[in-house]
């Protein structure tokens, strides 16, 4: 059972070239970008809701 678990875990290891996000310096920056975009979309949709009600 342990050898099967070790085999599955070895498949989940991240290679060196995939350790950083595609177009920002760190994963923290990537998460902040996603949260910022979400906040912007929420504000934009709220604005549209108020204008077109």
Please tell me the distance from the alpha carbon of residue 53 to that of residue 49, in angstroms, as a whole number: 6
Please tell me the distance from the alpha carbon of residue 14 to that of residue 19, in angstroms, as a whole number: 7
Residue 3 is predicted with a pLDDT of 61
| Pairwise pLDDT comparison (10 vs 35), residue with the higher score | 35
Average predicted confidence (pLDDT) for the chain: 83
Tokens matching residue 22: 């595609």
The mean per-residue pLDDT over the stretch 7-26 comes to: 72
pLDDT in tens, 31-49: 999 999 999 999 999 999 9
pTM of the model: 0.61
């Amino acid at each position: 059972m342990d050898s099967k678990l070790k085999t599955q875990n070895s498949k989940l290891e991240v290679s060196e070239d995939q350790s950083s996000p595609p177009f920002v310096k760190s994963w923290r920056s990537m998460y902040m970008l996603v949260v910022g975009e979400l906040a912007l979309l929420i504000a934009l949709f709220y604005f549209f809701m108020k204008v077109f009600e």
